[in-house]
A and B are shown apart, each in its own frame.
Chain A
């Protein structure tokens, strides 16, 4: 067909443990904005990395203008007419806009030619730039403009935009859309990667929905609503699971009230007036697509960040928002942040040493500043046995364990300290099914024994399986809580996509 610019046929790409793209097939029409919509981990990034020459597919063909398209590097992709603007900018902060643009050019070009071209691009596509400004002085939106201009200098036919609005203010989003429209009017094609339903409907012509590496649907956006998109994006989740509410007491033991936090950093999400309550024995889930304030909220719940603008955290009738992690642990609060390697565990240290990381003030591990190694080893061995961690011994380095085993160990360490509340982020992220199952079981068991648990996760299946209440974080706002057994998947999907009716 003549109006198709890119045919993607049967692209498969697998990584150890996961198949990121399974026989992905769809066409992209010329002169349109084509959205790829999906949750995190749906395989969107893998697909565009293949298109941009950063990854090589295991199988499948791509045709550009009906000709076979195979590239091994971004430079080749650019030569063939595909440009990409990444979510995280690759600019030299200390250099000026002009210098950054010069560095990005693959071919030889005279200086005056470049200036003419820049002027042309700036005015044609609504991309005003101060060429002599240093990058550090620019806002996120202006930096993105530099990235776009840099790509446009190469005159691409297809422009890939990866979550372009995630770092922009609403005004900047408006002006980006003006630019995108101008580009399409000129006959260019835009491949728009996003998880925001609103954007798909307002500026995209066609949408391809991906879920767990597969294409669910490709269709025109004109006959889609946010609701239909949300359902397709999330799929039919298991919602017939029986959640047991019997053991939960009425008493609230953890309360977050009106927490607001400004970061002044385009890569962090400001938290806006977050409030929620957790009752004794309850598992409270916080759902949401990555980058909507989860890690920022986690830091505030753990005490790694105590610089909040306003609000309070109350635990057992104590105000704890100004307490650091150690002080919170002394009140029997435990945490497991998302990242195992380098945050909740130190990869270079032994399993025994990693016990000390969170347990050193307690359990008679330290006497007069000296580590009582035998006691630490005993604790480590207990965790290894009880949580069935597969390892040669407590002196093995944390880095030598598989992701699932290390996660079992880290969570086991926290559970063994008998917390009154456990705050955990992405408990089963990137681990095998067996470990996933055993971790979820131990969390449920822990709650039945009276421990409150807060789970922050992007995995809706997981939250629906284990939580009692669930709320959604979107752009730093937390929705009201829903009873997990009653809330519909469609409702959650809409909230995750920023639609709140």
Chain B
């Protein structure tokens, strides 16, 4: 007789090919599970999946929207890979995004009646600084007091959100805004230029692609990328090499924070144009899924950001056409992560049923 519960045994050699297929397998499994959920809800699964995944991108406008959503996701995810490669679990990108929006947006509010070419670059710079500073707080706590960065970075998200909340109902409230919790709009030169007339896809996409390219170069060609990799794989080897791990933690958090901060600024100076409460539909958290779905690789992250961006759009369409709550988008994101982690376990381990005597 075999025992009821399998035991998990390490595979001596994990397959490189499977490594590549894991994201694809998890997406397929997500679609299957998704259709089962739709059937249980009483919808034709083909129609529902079509509404969810195809119809949102069947127009130029839809594709532009896909890029609008994918931009912050990809930018934050590539920033997160600096941390994740170093085995630092920064969960607080949402807070770093918010702080970037506050710093960069604050500059925009300060110069709301100025029109000058330097305004947008200054705002982007401010966004990067704001995000980086917010990211450095958990880095200091981790290196000085040995706190767990998962907890501190997560808690800082809520602090950042409340600071934004305070600012838009308090000191930065639009004096002509009929007491709505929002700031003044930024001046025209404080807005991300649009790439095409009539479409919302903006210059942030170019910044994102550029930073992804830079990150690819850093990861694969520089000694800094090498150090991140080594201390992620084996902290002991990094100590043997003599890498300064404290510095690496600081850099990883600062870069990740800066990227998330730029993403936040790109949101408020791009599609939104001012500061208000809900600047991000959890981009900072969802980007964690994007980073892992893309296997921390720059190219992978580009594709993963498009897939996950589609779940945002699909959720909106599902709400419109199927009258399903848009939370179904989060269900899909959750499913992807669930299958991803499951498949990841199964490439490295196998299940065996022990014989009972």
Chain A residues with a Cβ under 8 A of chain B: 72, 302-304, 324-327, 329, 335, 337, 339, 342-349, 353, 356-358, 360, 366, 369-371
Contact = CB atoms under 8 A, between A and B. Distances in A.
Interface residues of B, number: 16
B226 interface: yes
B240 A360 contact: no
A343 B226 contact: no
Q: Give me the 7 closest cross-chain CB pairs, A-B, nearest first.
A: A326-B242, A325-B242, A342-B234, A343-B236, A357-B241, A346-B237, A348-B233
A325 B239 contact: yes
Interface string B204-221: 000000000000000001
A344 B221 contact: no
B1 interface: no
A453 to B, nearest CB: 18
B229 interface: yes
Nearest to A302: B240
Contact of B240 (A72, A325, A370): A325
Contacts of A349: 229-230, 233
A40 B290 CA distance: 48
A346 B223 contact: no
Interface string B233-256: 110110111100000000000000
B40 interface: no
A337 B221 contact: no
Contact of A342 (B221, B226, B236): B236
A357 B237 contact: yes
B240 A335 contact: yes
A360 B237 contact: no
Nearest to B236: A343
A358 B234 contact: no
Given A356-B223, A369-B223, A371-B221, A343 B233 contact: no
B237 A345 contact: yes
Contacts of A356: 223, 226
A337 B234 CA distance: 14
Given A347-B233, A357-B230, 17 more contacts: A72-B357, A324-B242, A325-B239, A325-B240, A325-B241, A326-B242, A329-B242, A342-B237, A343-B236, A346-B237, A349-B229, A349-B233, A356-B223, A356-B226, A360-B226, A369-B224, A371-B223
B239 A371 contact: no
Contacts of A371: 221-223, 226
B222 A343 contact: no
B148 to A, nearest CB: 15
A360 B227 CA distance: 10
24 contacts: A72-B357, A304-B240, A325-B240, A325-B242, A327-B242, A329-B242, A337-B240, A339-B236, A342-B233, A342-B236, A343-B240, A345-B237, A348-B233, A349-B229, A349-B230, A357-B237, A360-B223, A360-B226, A366-B223, A369-B222, A370-B221, A370-B222, A370-B223, A371-B226
Which residue among A326, A346, A356, A358 has the maximum number of chain B CB atoms within 10 Å of its CB? Answer: A346
A326 B227 CA distance: 13
Nearest to A339: B236
Contacts of A344: 237, 240
Nearest to B225: A371
A152 B25 CA distance: 51
B143 to A, nearest CB: 16
Nearest to A373: B221
Interface of B: 221-224, 226, 229-230, 233-234, 236-237, 239-242, 357
A371 B220 CA distance: 9
A366 B233 CA distance: 21
Contact of B237 (A72, A302, A343, A369): A343
Contacts, number: 62
Contact of A346 (B230, B239, B357): B230
A417 B229 CA distance: 23
A14 to B, nearest CB: 19
A41 to B, nearest CB: 23
A345 B241 CA distance: 9
Contacts of B233: 342, 346-349
A343 B234 contact: yes
A217 to B, nearest CB: 36
Nearest to B355: A72
Contacts of A353: 226
A360 B241 contact: yes
Contacts of B357: 72
A347 B242 CA distance: 18
Nearest to A342: B234
Contacts of B241: 325-326, 357-358, 360
Nearest to A329: B242
Nearest to B235: A342
A326 B229 CA distance: 18
A329 B242 CA distance: 9
A351 to B, nearest CB: 14
Nearest to B12: A399
A30 to B, nearest CB: 28
A363 B196 CA distance: 50
A303 B242 contact: yes
Given A302-B240, A358-B241, A346 B234 contact: yes
Which residue among B224, B230, B233 has the maximum number of chain A CB atoms within 10 Å of its CB? Answer: B230
Nearest to A335: B240
A52 B142 CA distance: 42
Contacts of B236: 339, 342-343
Contacts of A72: 357
Contacts of A342: 233-234, 236-237
Contacts of B229: 349
A9 B226 CA distance: 54
A340 to B, nearest CB: 10
A326 B247 CA distance: 15
A370 B226 CA distance: 10
A102 B237 CA distance: 40
A369 B218 CA distance: 9
A305 B239 CA distance: 9
Which residue among B221, B230, B241, B242 has the maximum number of chain A CB atoms within 10 Å of its CB? Answer: B242
A389 B93 CA distance: 45
A329 B222 CA distance: 21
Contacts of B239: 304, 325
Contacts of B242: 303, 324-327, 329
A419 B126 CA distance: 48
Nearest to A400: B13
Nearest to A330: B242
A329 B240 CA distance: 11
A408 B321 CA distance: 66
A63 B224 CA distance: 60
B241 to A, nearest CB: 5
A343 B235 CA distance: 8
Contacts of A346: 230, 233-234, 237
A323 B233 CA distance: 24
Nearest to B227: A360
A360 B226 CA distance: 10
A462 B240 CA distance: 25
Contacts of B224: 369
Contacts of A302: 240
Nearest to A344: B240
B75 to A, nearest CB: 23
A358 B240 contact: yes
A369 B240 CA distance: 20
A118 B258 CA distance: 58
A370 B239 CA distance: 21
Contacts of A348: 233-234
Contacts of A345: 237
B8 to A, nearest CB: 17
Which residue among B233, B234, B237 has the maximum number of chain A CB atoms within 10 Å of its CB? Answer: B237
